[in-house]
Chains A and B, each alone.
Chain A
């Protein structure tokens, strides 16, 4: 990607020469890319290509993996998150994450969303109630659950649980949302609700999604990247990426020949 092109954007996340090793495996090979503010970016690739690993380097979730090693820089809002003075707790407050499996906590619907507020020391009850309501509304779940906020989160359907997880992730007011195949286990109706949410969310958040569903990615993304065996093969605006891919391997993937 050309340097002058980079300056046009307001860059939110800038990844430079990122290498990631697990034991002797070299999982991410010299990845360079950046994410524009308030955009939706999808990272595509076959299973095991390192796209989830890459996503997890952005909020340092790999910190707890034994035998993991990382070189290079991830610069978020001008600060290298692997620098020494970085507070991981504050970093993760600023970066919401939604996982592949809906993973609500074994708590009530209300407490699930309030969790993010409580762990950051917010005790003001009115604020919490107001904020939980707001987040549930953003996630398009409020009308469905307003009468049963005290019920366990597991009483919800899979699609509702995933939207609850999204509400939970935005409760701490992050500026970046990471999503690891958020619709992989959902039915088409729930999937389409969540895809619509993602497109409205980019007003407030920079959204980075890992996916292996090309149609979905094409529908929602502004930018797309293609990973293969730990290498970033191609990264471009969605229009170019899907219609005029520069690399033969990208072309093969998006025409489903992998």
Chain B
């Protein structure tokens, strides 16, 4: 080395144990300390009250629906088709459960690949400046009222005249419309999930000579799996409660569908069933609507738990 290191000159080194207490005074503000503790408690109170007010409707709905609807909740209710007069007075809601499965499957087949694809594009492949506008557009799509989707779906899929796919009022038309509602949700969640992955993952893969696609499917998608599943779950939960888009594309069927398009292609749907039953001037149908809402909630809960389980298992055994 060239020369010795100089120690900092203006502070003489003191030995351990030398010197007394730090002579500088810290100005303690007692009033402020009292106030800050008060604000802390106030914030906690506010959070608790907000939770109670926000959570109350959920518990109330579940309680009320159980109170009235539980008399109809039995195996027959979910395993038979509605009969009697007005239709639904006897029998169950099997048509709606089967119809929901149809709609969810069709909507998912369309929206999962499209949503994940566009999410990956936004987070990995697109250019910064255009992505800004695409993201804005995507968020705008999430905000489109569902009745507008219904009308668009009607003109694109269902209408029998003019340009369009002429699918009639059917599960395919309804499912595709619902699918397009799911796409921006899955896109948003996928994009967020991928952006949360440390850049070093993808850099590490690229530095070894992986192409962007290899890095994506072997590293990125697996790491983002949790977020992507959340997106799918949110999307499904969103569409399962939709009625407005179905009004114009599928409406309702009290029986089983005979196909996915054309006459006989329409399916029942739980949200639609509740909507229709509650409009009927019949006490028994009102009670059945309450029971159906319990089934709908259970359906959503089962989906939620199911997707969480899949997520857990993929994380546990695939990664």
A binds B: yes
**A→B interface (CB under 8 Å):** 59, 61, 64, 66, 88-93, 95-97, 99, 101, 103, 105-108, 115-116, 118-120, 152, 165, 168-169, 172, 243, 245, 251, 254-256
Residues in B whose Cβ lies below 8 Å from that of A103:
198, 200-201, 203-204
> Are A119 and B210 in contact (CB-based, < 8 A)?
yes
The yes or no answer to B218 lying at the interface (CB within 8 A) is yes
> Are A64 and B206 in contact (CB-based, < 8 A)?
yes
Other-chain residue from A59, A66, A119 in contact with B214 (beta carbon distance below 8 A): A119
Q: A119-B218, A256-B5 are in contact. Are A105 and B207 (CB under 8 A)?
A: no
Residues in A whose Cβ lies below 8 Å from that of B209:
88-93, 116, 119-120, 172
Q: A93-B208, A172-B209 are in contact. Are A66 and B128 (CB under 8 A)?
A: yes
Task: Across the interface, name the chain B residue whose C-beta is closest to A101.
Answer: B200
CA distance A204 to B41 in the complex (A): 65
Residues in A whose Cβ lies below 8 Å from that of B105:
none
> Are B200 and A99 in contact (CB-based, < 8 A)?
yes
The yes or no answer to B319 lying at the interface (CB within 8 A) is yes
CA distance A66 to B319 in the complex (A): 31
CA distance A105 to B200 in the complex (A): 9
> Are B208 and A105 in contact (CB-based, < 8 A)?
no
Other-chain residue from A89, A107, A169 in contact with B211 (beta carbon distance below 8 A): A89
CA distance A114 to B286 in the complex (A): 61
Interface string of B199-225 (1 = CB under 8 A from A): 011011111111100100011001100
CA distance A66 to B128 in the complex (A): 8
CA distance A91 to B208 in the complex (A): 9
Other-chain residue from A88, A89, A120, A152 in contact with B319 (beta carbon distance below 8 A): A152
The yes or no answer to B21 lying at the interface (CB within 8 A) is no
> Are B206 and A255 in contact (CB-based, < 8 A)?
no
CA distance A106 to B201 in the complex (A): 9
CA distance A243 to B201 in the complex (A): 39
Other 19 A-B pairs with CB < 8 A, given A90-B209, A95-B207, A107-B222: A59-B207, A64-B206, A92-B208, A97-B204, A97-B208, A99-B200, A99-B203, A103-B201, A105-B201, A105-B218, A105-B223, A107-B219, A115-B218, A119-B205, A119-B214, A119-B218, A168-B204, A172-B208, A256-B5
**Distance to closest chain A CB from B265 (angstroms):** 43
Task: Across the interface, name the chain B residue whose C-beta is closest to A97.
Answer: B207
Q: What are 22 A-B pairs at a CB distance below 8 A?
A: A61-B207, A66-B128, A88-B209, A92-B207, A96-B207, A96-B208, A97-B208, A103-B204, A105-B201, A105-B204, A106-B201, A106-B219, A108-B319, A115-B208, A118-B218, A119-B205, A119-B211, A152-B319, A168-B204, A243-B1, A255-B3, A256-B5
Interface centre among A61, A89, A118 (most CB of B within 10 A): A89
Residues in B whose Cβ lies below 8 Å from that of A169:
207-208
CA distance A35 to B128 in the complex (A): 36
CA distance A59 to B128 in the complex (A): 23
**B→A interface (CB under 8 Å):** 1-3, 5, 127-128, 198, 200-201, 203-211, 214, 218-219, 222-223, 319
Residues in A whose Cβ lies below 8 Å from that of B222:
106-107
Other-chain residue from A97, A115, A255 in contact with B1 (beta carbon distance below 8 A): A255
> Are B208 and A168 in contact (CB-based, < 8 A)?
yes
Residues in B whose Cβ lies below 8 Å from that of A152:
319
> Are B208 and A61 in contact (CB-based, < 8 A)?
no
Residues in A whose Cβ lies below 8 Å from that of B3:
255
> Are B211 and A105 in contact (CB-based, < 8 A)?
no
**Distance to closest chain B CB from A135 (angstroms):** 12
**Distance to closest chain A CB from B121 (angstroms):** 15
CA distance A255 to B3 in the complex (A): 8
> Are B204 and A106 in contact (CB-based, < 8 A)?
no
CA distance A137 to B200 in the complex (A): 24
Task: Across the interface, name the chain A residue whose C-beta is closest to B212.
Answer: A64
**Distance to closest chain A CB from B225 (angstroms):** 9
> Are B200 and A107 in contact (CB-based, < 8 A)?
no
Residues in B whose Cβ lies below 8 Å from that of A172:
208-209
Residues in A whose Cβ lies below 8 Å from that of B206:
61, 64, 92
Task: Across the interface, name the chain B residue whose C-beta is closest to A91.
Answer: B209
**Distance to closest chain B CB from A185 (angstroms):** 12
Interface centre among A66, A106, A256 (most CB of B within 10 A): A106
> Are A115 and B205 in contact (CB-based, < 8 A)?
yes
Residues in A whose Cβ lies below 8 Å from that of B200:
99, 101, 103
Sort A-B residue pairs by CB-CB distance and give the 3 closest, nearest first: A103-B200, A92-B209, A97-B207
Residues in A whose Cβ lies below 8 Å from that of B218:
105, 115, 118-119
> Are A119 and B208 in contact (CB-based, < 8 A)?
yes
**Distance to closest chain B CB from A16 (angstroms):** 23
Residues in B whose Cβ lies below 8 Å from that of A88:
209
CA distance A7 to B203 in the complex (A): 35
